[in-house]
């Protein structure tokens, strides 16, 4: 599962990094504590243009009666993604990249109820390219109520480094896979299966951080600063 991450790169930097255009409406404030239902920076190809855009984190299927379902769809398991009703259409036609500067996971501490959070990031400081899916949802009713664009992060089994902290991790796409993942004309699940694998362990370095990150109201660079991990009880 990926339920919290940092998004601190500027939209201009993300556009340059992902070779994408930046629409004027794509402004997004940096956050060291992005939580489900927040707006997030996404790279997607729509109408033939690769662009950095902003979407709601928590995928709302086009057939949903209300957008509240999105809070339960922040992640999509890679296993069975091509068949699951909420994700199969987006997997074939609306894939995206969710940009993140790192993410958080919590590790159990022997003898303690509270878990120790860890910040996971690339060793070179570059952003992660999480494999994502996106959808359009239109409010039912005579006036339409506008359009909501939402996204989910695809997860897979952990690499060796991540296995010490959690049993899932985001699918992290190498730059060589961006074109294929973002190409809406690639709709055969078999042509994408080799991408839905754990990233090499050397791409997921980590360190313990403050438990402040557990509160969504907290934000700021102190959340990713290393701390001494909580010792086992007793």
As a dihedral over the C-alpha atoms of residue 91, residue 96, residue 102, residue 105, rounded to 10 degrees, the angle is -20
User: For residue 28, what are the contacts with CB-CB under 8 A and spacing of at least 6?
Assistant: 7, 11, 39, 40, 41, 54
Helices (runs of H) and strands (runs of E) counted in the chain: 4, 12
CA distance 52 to 24: 10
Look at residue 230 in the predicted model and tell me its pLDDT: 77
For residue 136, the surrounding DSSP H or E stretch is: strand 128-138
Mean pLDDT of 128-156: 87
| Residue with more model confidence, 55 or 139 | 55
Look at residue 143 in the predicted model and tell me its pLDDT: 55
Mean pLDDT of 105-120: 92
CA distance 132 to 9: 18
Give the model confidence (pLDDT) of 62-107 as tens digits.
899 889 999 999 999 999 999 998 999 999 999 999 999 999 999 9
Cα-Cα end-to-end distance for the chain: 30
According to DSSP H, which parts of 2-95 are helical? 11-17, 88-93
Look at residue 234 in the predicted model and tell me its pLDDT: 64
Look at residue 112 in the predicted model and tell me its pLDDT: 83
Tokens linked to 70: 């999105």
Residue 190 has pLDDT above 80, yes or no: yes
CATH of domain 5-215: 3.90.1680.10
Residue 210 has pLDDT above 80, yes or no: yes
Q: Annotated catalytic, 2?
A: yes
**Catalytic residue, candidates 25, 83, 105, 225:** 105
Q: Annotated catalytic, 228?
A: no
Q: What angle do CA 225, 226, 232 make, to 5 degrees?
A: 140
Neighbours of 188 (CB within 10 A): 9
Look at residue 142 in the predicted model and tell me its pLDDT: 45
Domain coordinates of the chain in residue numbers?
Answer: 5-215
């Amino acid at each position: 599962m990926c339920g919290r991450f940092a998004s601190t790169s500027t939209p201009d930097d993300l556009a340059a990094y992902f070779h994408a255009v930046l629409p004027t409406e794509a402004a997004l404030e940096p956050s060291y504590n992005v939580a489900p239902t927040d707006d997030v920076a996404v790279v997607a190809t729509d109408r033939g243009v690769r662009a950095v855009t902003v979407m709601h984190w928590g995928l709302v299927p086009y057939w949903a009666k209300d957008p509240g379902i999105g809070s339960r769809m922040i992640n999509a398991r890679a296993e069975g993604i091509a068949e699951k009703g909420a994700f199969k259409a987006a997997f074939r036609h609306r894939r995206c990249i969710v940009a993140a500067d790192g993410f958080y996971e919590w590790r159990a501490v022997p003898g303690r109820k509270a878990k120790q959070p860890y910040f996971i990031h690339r060793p070179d400081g570059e952003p992660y390219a999480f494999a994502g899916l996106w959808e359009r949802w239109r409010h039912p009713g005579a006036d339409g109520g506008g359009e909501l664009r939402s996204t989910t992060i695809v997860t897979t089994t952990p690499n060796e480094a991540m296995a010490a902290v959690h049993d899932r991790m985001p699918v992290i796409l190498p730059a060589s896979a961006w074109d294929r993942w973002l190409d809406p004309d690639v709709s055969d699940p078999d042509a994408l299966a080799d991408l839905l694998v754990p990233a090499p362990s050397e791409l997921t370095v980590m360190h313990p951080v403050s438990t402040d990150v557990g509160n969504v109201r907290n934000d700021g660079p102190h959340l990713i600063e290393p701390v001494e991990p909580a010792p086992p009880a007793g």
